[in-house]
Structure 1
Amino acid sequence: MHQKSDTTLINDMADAMLRYGEGCTRDQLAMHFTQDEIDRLSERARAHANEKAVIQRRARVAARAA
């Protein structure tokens, strides 16, 4: 059975959090990840999702200014 690395899981979980938006719940994440993965990685994924959101916002602002 193929297992994803923590780095890949964090990135995938961050993407899921961004898709669900602010207020993403553990129940929503549980549709895509195991409880163990959520327990181990959700805080790091949340931080990564926040970083990605900031980068996306900066890119949109820069594109509008161009």
Structure 2
Amino acid sequence: MSEADTAGLGYEQARDQLVEVVKELEAGGLSLEQSLELWEKGERLAKVCERHLEGARERIEAALASVETDDAE
């Protein structure tokens, strides 16, 4: 899965795929090359999750700022 493939994933999809990657890595029995490919995929998925969480954080902060502005008026 390339970076372009992971970029379009929603948070839940990326998180679920990341969980599967971690399970596969923890299970072991993979070649070094397979492990590296999975690790790279996991890193891409983690970045997607981080971007979604940052976006959610920004939305919450904006909503809170809006409420505070409304309360001040």
Greater share of residues in helix? 2
Q: Scaled by the length of structure 2, what TM-score is found?
A: 0.45
> TM-score by structure 1 length?
0.49
